[in-house]
C-alpha cells in the first residue's frame, strides 16, 4: 500500500479542512428580504445589496456575531441601519465579512464590485461570449455579494438589473417582471420580484442578446403560465423539442402528484458554457445548451431523450427542491435523489418503461458501483466533505433515486403518493432533512422505516447472497437470503439494510408460478416483494408443483449485487421466458459477462478466444425474434463498458479487457452475420425523422446491427456504413455510422467532411471530439493533443473538455491506460491546466485516477507517480485536492 506521508506533509500548511454534518448549527441570523441591484459594465459589475435581517431565536448564542460568506469580492461600503461603517466595525477575510455588535433587527446595505468578465470558474456571475449568466448552487452566491449563503436561510428577493440597452437588451431574473425603464448613457433597467422565499442558491440573473421561443400552458386549476425559452439567435430553430418537453412535464406532475406550477412565467435559458447539465433557479432555469437544443439533423435520439429528461428534472425541482429545500448540503439527495426518481418515472411513462429501467440500471452499475468501490465512496447523505461541488455524484443522484424507488416498491404507488402528499403538507416553504422525508413516508403509511435509515448513512454496494432448494416430495421451495456490505473508507462494519426483494418463480413452461409463503392462506400471482431485514433469512414457499427457476430482484428492486449460482440452462430459460423484462435482460447479461470473463482471462494467459455455443445460440434467438421490442433486443446485444469489466477484476489489465471485449464483438459478428444483416434491413426506415418510441427503437437495433457488421473486415459492409453516413437524414444514423468508420482508415474522410459540415455547431463538434477520443486506434494520446489545437476546442468550455478529454480518460480504458503511463502524464498536465480555470471541471478529470490501486503493478506505479505530482502542485484547488488526497490515503 502507498505511503503518502511525504506528499501529504507538503500539503499540510494549507490543508483544507472538512465540513462535518455533526457540526450543523442553525444560522445566527435570518434574512427576511433582500433587494439587489446589478450595474453591469464591460470591465466590472457593481452589486448593491440591501438585507433585512433578524436574529434567529433557534441559535444557541443570543449575542452571536453576524458572519456573512463572501469570496473574491471587492468591498466598497457597508451601512448598518443607515450608518456607514468604518473598517473597525467589521472584520474581513478571504471568505467572510463579520459584524460582532449587531442589533436583533437590522438593515444592512453592502456594495461590492465583482468581475464576471474574468470569471472562468462558471460559478457566481460570469460571461459567456458577450452575455452574462449566473450559477449559484451550491455556494456561488457568495461570489456575487456578502450573504448567509446556506440553504436554510430563505428570503424574499427583488432584483434590479441596469445595463447598456444595445449590448444587453434582455435582462432576466427570478419571479415576475414588475417594472422597466431608461436611464442615462443609453442604459436601461428591469426590476424582478420573486414572491417565494428562497435560498440564495436558487438566485439567477441573465443579461444579453437572446431570442425567445414563447408558448403558453394552462394548469388544471386554470392558471395561465407563459413559457419562455431564451437562446442565442442562431439556435431558435432548435427549441421545439424542449418546449414540448416542458408541457409534457407540467402535465405529468399534475396527473401523477397533483403538483402545479406556481408563477406566471416559467423561463429556460440555454448557455454553451455551463459546468453541469442544468439548474433549477426559481422561475428561471439555466441549462447547458446540450439539454435544450435539438434538431433532427444535429441531435441524436439519445440527445432527445436527455433533453426530455433534464427539462423534466429541472421542472420537477420546483416542488422537490425549491418549495421544499435542503436544510444543509449534506441533505443534497433529499432533492436530487427524489427528483431523479421523478424524472425516471416520467421518462418511463413517455416511452418504454422497460428500456428506461434497464438504462438506469446500466448507468448505476457502470458509474455508481464503481464510485462505491473506490476512494470517494460515500453514503447518499455524506457525513463530511472538503468541497461540496465534489458531492454532486452518481451516488447522491442515481443511488439516491434508487433509495427513493425502494420506498415506492415497499409502500406501493399509492402509499408513496400518500407519503409525498404528507411531505408537502408538512414542509412546504421549509428547508428540511432526509429524515423528514423518511418520516413523512413512514407516518403516511403507518410503516416502520427505522432500519431503512441505514441506506442514508452506510456507503458501499450490498451483496445479496441467495440460495434455492426445491423439495419435490414436500412441494416446497426454500430461499436462503443473506446480505453483506464491503468496507468503505471510514466505515469498516455495516449493519443489515432493509432490502425489498421482488421475485417470481418461473416454471418449466416459462410461466410464473403462484407464490404462497408458509403460513399464508392464499397464493399471489406473478411477482411479490419480500422485505429482507436480517443478515440471514429464510423464506419457505409452499404448494410449488414443479421445480422453478427463481427470478430475483425483478425490475432491479434494490441497488445491490445479486449472488445466485444460476446454471447456464437456467439463464437461457430466464432469457427466453421471464415475464420481467429487466430479469430477461439480466439473464443475457450474466451469460455475456461469464463469457467475457473467460475471454479476458484467455487474453491475459495467451489462450484461445472463442465464444461458447449456448451463448451464441441464445443471442441468435434474441436477434431473430421479431416479436420482441427492437429496443430491448438492442440492449440485450449491448456489451458492458470496458470500465465495468475492469471493476469485475481483482487486478485490472486494460489490454486484456480490450482484447476480450473485442473478441466477443468480432465473434458475435462472425457467428450472427446473416441475422445482423437481416435485422439491419428489417429496421431500415426511409421516412422523415421522427422522435417517437417505435422509430427510436428501430434505429437503436439497426445501428447496433451496423456496429457489429462493421467489425467484419469486408468492403461491402464498410460500404454499408459509408452509405448510411452519406445518406442519413438525421444525426442518430449519421453519428452511428461515423462511430463504425472511425476505427478504420475509411473514417478519416468521413471525419473531415463531418467537421467541415458542422464547424459552426458547437454541440455537433462535441460529438466529433467524443468519437475520436473513444477510438481504439493506436497513438491516441498524440491524437488528443493534436485535437486540443483544433479551432473548435477550448479548455475554458466544459462541454469541450468533457467531450474530448473526459471521454478519453473516463471511457477509453485501453487508450488512457497505455502501458508507458503517457495517458496519466497527459491527464495530470491537463487537469492542472484546467484547475487554474475551472476547479469543478478539473476535479471531474481527477476522478479518472480513482481505480489506480486495482491496476496491474506497472500501470499502478505510473499512476501513483502522476497522482503524487498533482498532489505536490502548489495552489491546487480544494476540489482537486480532495479527490487526489483521498486517492493517496
What minimum distance in Å lies between the beta carbon of 286 and ligand PHE?
Answer: 8
What minimum distance in Å lies between the beta carbon of 317 and Zn ion?
Answer: 6
Strand partners, 355: none
| Residue recorded with cell 404448494 | 543
Q: Which is nearer to ligand PHE, 431 or 784 (CB)?
A: 431
d(CA 502, CA 529): 4
What minimum distance in Å lies between the beta carbon of 748 and ligand PHE?
Answer: 38
d(CA 66, CA 81): 14
Strand partners, 502: 529
Among 278, 481, 704, 834, binds ligand PHE (CB under 6 A): 278
d(CA 170, CA 167): 9
All three cell numbers of 624 = 431473430
User: Is residue 276 involved in binding ligand PHE (CB under 6 A)?
Assistant: yes
What minimum distance in Å lies between the beta carbon of 272 and Zn ion?
Answer: 20
Q: Which is nearer to ligand PHE, 133 or 615 (CB)?
A: 133
- Selected catalytic residue, list 232, 308, 314, 345: 314
Interacting partner of 461 out of ligand PHE, Zn ion, none (Cβ under 5 to 8 A depending on kind): none
What minimum distance in Å lies between the beta carbon of 360 and Zn ion?
Answer: 15
Give me the helices (H) in 428-533, please.
Answer: 434-445, 454-457
What minimum distance in Å lies between the beta carbon of 728 and ligand PHE?
Answer: 32
Task: State the CB neighbour count (10 A cutoff) for residue 105.
Answer: 12
Strands 265-271 and 284-288: parallel
675 contacts 623 by C-beta, under 8 angstroms: yes
Residues 279-298 that bind ligand PHE (CB under 6 A): 279-280
Residues 328-367 that bind Zn ion (CB under 5 A): 336, 339
Q: Near ligand PHE by CB under 6 A, which window of 32-40, 126-134, 273-281, 694-702?
A: 273-281
d(CA 86, CA 88): 6
Tell me the Cα Rg of the chain: 28
Among 253, 273, 301, 314, binds ligand PHE (CB under 6 A): 314
What minimum distance in Å lies between the beta carbon of 412 and Zn ion?
Answer: 26
All three cell numbers of 153 = 436561510
174 contacts 204 by C-beta, under 8 angstroms: yes
| Residue recorded with cell 438566485 | 203
E strand spans, 304-366: 325-326
Distance of CA 71 to the CA centre of its chain: 28
Interacting partner of 392 out of ligand PHE, Zn ion, none (Cβ under 5 to 8 A depending on kind): ligand PHE
d(CA 139, CA 443): 34
Interface mask (CB under 6 A) for ligand PHE, residues 1-40, using x and -? ----------------------------------------
d(CA 731, CA 691): 12
Q: How many residues bind Zn ion (CB under 5 A)?
A: 2
Among 150, 313, 405, 802, binds ligand PHE (CB under 6 A): 313
Q: Near ligand PHE by CB under 6 A, which window of 223-231, 239-247, 277-285, 849-857?
A: 277-285
Interacting partner of 276 out of Zn ion, ligand PHE, none (Cβ under 5 to 8 A depending on kind): ligand PHE
Residues 383-422 that bind ligand PHE (CB under 6 A): 392
Residues 481-520 that bind ligand PHE (CB under 6 A): none
Interface mask (CB under 5 A) for Zn ion, residues 267-286, using x and -? --------------------
Q: What is the DSSP letter of 553?
A: S
| Residue recorded with cell 450474466 | 590
User: Is residue 137 involved in binding ligand PHE (CB under 6 A)?
Assistant: yes
Interacting partner of 278 out of ligand PHE, Zn ion, none (Cβ under 5 to 8 A depending on kind): ligand PHE
d(CA 874, CA 406): 45
User: Is residue 336 involved in binding ligand PHE (CB under 6 A)?
Assistant: yes
What minimum distance in Å lies between the beta carbon of 291 and ligand PHE?
Answer: 10
DSSP string, 138-205: TTTGGGTS-B--STT--BEEEEEEEEETTT--EEEESSEEEEEEE-STTEEEEEEE--S-B-GGG--E
Identify the three-state secondary structure at position 752: helix
Strands 205-208 and 187-193: unpaired
Task: State the CB neighbour count (10 A cutoff) for residue 547.
Answer: 14
Q: Which is nearer to ligand PHE, 137 or 766 (CB)?
A: 137
d(CA 675, CA 623): 7
Interacting partner of 279 out of ligand PHE, Zn ion, none (Cβ under 5 to 8 A depending on kind): ligand PHE
Q: Which is nearer to ligand PHE, 278 or 805 (CB)?
A: 278
All three cell numbers of 604 = 491475459
Interacting partner of 8 out of Zn ion, ligand PHE, none (Cβ under 5 to 8 A depending on kind): none
Residues 857-876 that bind ligand PHE (CB under 6 A): none
Interacting partner of 135 out of ligand PHE, Zn ion, none (Cβ under 5 to 8 A depending on kind): ligand PHE
What minimum distance in Å lies between the beta carbon of 392 and Zn ion?
Answer: 9
Task: Give 729's contacts (C-beta < 8 A, 6+ positions apart).
Answer: 296, 297, 688, 689
Q: What is the DSSP letter of 228?
A: E
Q: Near ligand PHE by CB under 6 A, which window of 13-21, 206-214, 275-283, 697-705?
A: 275-283
What minimum distance in Å lies between the beta carbon of 274 and ligand PHE?
Answer: 8
Q: Which is nearer to ligand PHE, 662 or 882 (CB)?
A: 882
Q: How many residues bind ligand PHE (CB under 6 A)?
A: 11
Q: Which is nearer to Zn ion, 7 or 325 (CB)?
A: 325
Known catalytic residue at 714: no
Instruction: Evaluate the CA torsion angle 143, 144, 149, 151 in order and state its sign.
Output: negative
Residues with active-site annotation: 314
Interacting residue ranges for ligand PHE, rule: CB under 6 A = 135, 137, 275-276, 278-280, 313-314, 336, 392
Interacting residue ranges for Zn ion, rule: CB under 5 A = 336, 339
Amino acid at each position: 500500500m502507498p505511503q503518502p506521508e511525504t506528499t501529504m506533509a507538503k500539503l499540510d500548511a494549507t490543508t483544507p479542512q472538512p465540513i462535518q454534518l455533526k457540526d450543523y448549527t442553525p444560522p445566527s441570523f435570518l434574512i427576511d428580504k433582500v433587494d439587489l441591484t446589478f450595474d453591469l459594465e464591460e470591465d466590472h459589475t457593481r452589486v448593491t445589496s440591501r438585507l433585512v435581517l433578524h436574529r434567529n431565536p433557534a441559535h444557541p448564542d443570543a449575542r452571536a456575531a453576524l458572519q456573512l460568506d463572501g469570496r473574491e469580492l471587492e468591498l466598497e461600503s457597508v451601512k448598518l441601519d443607515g450608518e456607514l461603517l468604518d473598517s473597525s466595525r467589521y472584520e474581513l477575510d478571504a471568505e467572510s465579512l463579520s459584524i460582532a455588535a449587531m442589533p436583533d433587527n437590522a438593515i444592512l446595505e453592502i456594495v461590492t464590485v465583482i468581475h464576471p468578465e474574468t470569471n472562468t470558474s462558471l460559478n457566481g456571475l460570469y460571461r459567456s461570449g458577450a452575455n452574462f449568466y449566473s450559477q449559484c448552487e451550491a455556494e456561488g452566491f457568495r461570489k456575487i455579494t456578502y450573504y448567509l449563503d446556506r440553504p436554510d436561510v430563505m428570503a424574499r428577493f427583488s432584483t434590479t438589473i441596469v445595463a447598456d440597452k444595445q449590448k444587453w437588451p434582455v435582462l432576466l431574473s427570478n419571479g415576475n417582471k414588475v417594472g422597466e425603464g431608461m436611464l442615462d448613457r443609453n442604459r436601461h433597467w428591469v426590476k424582478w420580484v420573486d414572491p417565494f422565499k428562497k435560498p440564495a442558491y436558487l438566485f439567477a440573473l441573465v443579461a444579453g442578446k437572446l431570442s425567445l421561443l414563447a408558448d403558453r400552458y394552462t394548469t388544471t386549476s386554470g392558471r395561465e403560465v407563459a413559457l419562455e425559452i431564451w437562446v442565442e439567435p442562431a439556435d431558435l430553430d432548435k427549441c421545439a423539442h424542449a418546449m414540448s418537453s416542458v408541457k409534457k412535464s407540467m402535465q405529468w406532475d399534475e396527473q401523477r402528484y397533483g403538483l402545479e406550477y406556481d408563477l406566471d412565467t416559467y423561463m429556460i435559458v440555454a448557455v454553451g458554457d455551463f459546468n453541469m447539465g442544468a439548474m433549477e433557479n426559481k422561475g428561471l432555469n439555466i441549462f447547458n445548451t446540450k439539454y435544450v437544443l435539438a434538431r433532427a439533423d444535429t441531435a441524436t435520439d439519445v440527445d432527445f431523450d436527455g433533453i426530455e429528461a433534464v427539462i423534466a428534472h429541472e421542472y420537477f425541482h420546483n416542488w422537490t427542491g425549491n418549495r421544499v429545500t435542503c436544510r444543509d448540503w449534506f441533505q443534497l439527495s433529499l432533492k436530487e435523489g427524489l427528483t431523479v426518481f421523478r424524472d425516471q418515472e416520467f421518462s418511463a411513462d413517455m416511452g418504454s418503461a422497460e428500456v428506461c429501467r434497464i438504462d438506469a440500471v446500466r448507468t448505476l452499475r457502470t458509474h455508481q458501483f464503481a464510485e462505491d468501490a473506490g476512494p470517494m465512496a460515500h453514503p447518499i447523505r455524506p457525513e463530511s466533505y472538503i468541497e461540496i461541488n465534489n458531492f454532486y455524484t452518481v451516488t447522491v443522484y442515481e443511488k439516491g433515486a434508487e433509495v427513493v424507488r425502494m420506498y415506492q416498491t415497499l409502500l406501493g404507488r399509492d402509499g408513496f403518493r400518500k407519503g409525498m402528499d404528507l411531505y408537502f403538507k408538512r414542509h412546504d416553504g421549509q428547508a428540511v432533512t432526509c429524515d423528514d422525508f423518511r418520516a413523512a413516508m413512514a407516518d403516511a403509511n403507518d410503516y416502520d422505516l427505522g432500519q431503512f435509515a441505514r441506506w442514508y448513512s452506510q456507503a458501499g454496494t450490498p451483496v445479496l447472497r441467495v440460495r434455492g432448494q426445491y423439495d419435490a416430495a414436500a412441494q416446497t421451495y426454500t430461499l436462503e437470503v443473506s446480505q453483506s456490505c464491503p468496507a468503505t473508507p471510514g466505515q469498516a462494519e455495516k449493519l443489515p439494510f432493509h432490502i425489498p426483494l421482488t421475485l417470481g418463480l418461473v416454471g418449466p413452461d416459462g410461466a410464473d408460478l403462484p407464490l404462497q409463503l408458509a403460513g399464508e392462506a392464499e397464493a399471489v400471482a406473478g411477482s411479490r416483494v419480500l422485505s429482507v431485514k436480517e443478515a440471514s433469512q429464510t423464506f419457505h414457499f409452499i404448494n410449488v408443483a414443479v421445480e422453478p427457476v427463481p427470478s430475483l430482484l425483478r425490475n432491479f428492486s434494490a441497488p445491490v449485487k445479486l449472488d445466485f449460482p444460476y446454471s447456464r440452462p437456467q439463464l437461457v430459460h430466464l432469457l427466453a421466458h421471464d415475464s420481467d423484462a429487466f430479469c430477461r435482460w439480466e439473464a443475457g447479461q450474466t451469460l455475456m459477462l461469464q463469457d467475457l470473463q473467460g475471454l479476458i482471462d484467455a487474453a491475459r494467459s495467451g489462450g484461445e478466444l472463442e465464444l461458447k455455443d449456448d451463448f451464441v445460440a441464445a443471442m441468435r434467438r434474441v436477434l431473430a425474434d421479431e416479436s420482441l421490442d427492437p429496443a430491448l433486443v438492442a440492449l440485450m446485444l449491448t456489451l458492458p463498458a470496458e470500465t465495468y469489466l475492469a471493476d469485475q477484476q481483482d487486478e485490472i489489465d486494460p489490454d486484456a479487457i480490450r482484447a476480450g471485449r473485442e473478441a466477443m464483438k468480432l465473434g458475435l459478428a462472425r457467428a450472427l452475420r446473416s441475422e445482423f444483416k437481416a435485422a439491419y434491413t428489417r429496421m431500415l426506415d426511409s421516412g422523415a425523422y421522427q422522435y417517437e418510441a417505435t422509430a427510436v427503437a428501430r434505429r437503436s437495433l439497426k445501428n447496433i446491427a451496423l456496429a457489429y457488421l462493421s467489425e467484419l473486415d469486408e468492403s461491402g459492409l464498410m460500404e454499408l456504413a459509408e452509405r448510411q453516413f452519406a445518406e442519413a437524414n438525421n444525426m442518430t444514423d449519421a453519428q452511428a455510422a461515423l462511430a463504425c468508420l472511425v476505427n478504420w482508415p475509411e473514417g478519416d474522410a468521413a471525419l473531415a467532411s463531418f467537421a467541415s459540415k458542422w464547424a459552426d455547431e458547437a454541440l455537433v463538434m462535441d460529438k466529433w471530439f467524443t468519437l475520436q477520443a473513444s477510438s481504439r486506434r493506436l497513438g491516441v494520446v498524440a491524437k488528443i493533443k493534436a485535437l486540443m489545437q483544433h479551432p473548435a476546442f477550448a479548455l475554458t468550455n466544459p462541454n469541450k473538455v468533457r467531450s474530448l478529454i473526459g471521454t478519453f480518460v473516463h471511457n477509453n480504458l485501453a487508450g488512457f491506460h497505455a502501458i508507458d503511463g503517457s495517458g496519466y502524464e497527459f491527464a495530470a498536465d491537463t487537469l492542472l491546466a484546467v484547475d487554474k480555470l475551472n476547479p469543478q471541471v478539473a476535479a471531474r478529470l481527477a476522478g479518472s485516477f480513482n481505480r489506480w490501486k486495482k491496476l496491474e503493478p506497472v500501470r499502478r506505479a505510473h499512476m501513483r507517480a502522476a497522482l503524487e505530482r498533482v498532489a505536490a502542485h502548489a495552489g491546487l484547488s480544494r476540489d482537486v485536492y480532495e479527490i487526489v488526497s483521498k486517492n493517496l490515503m
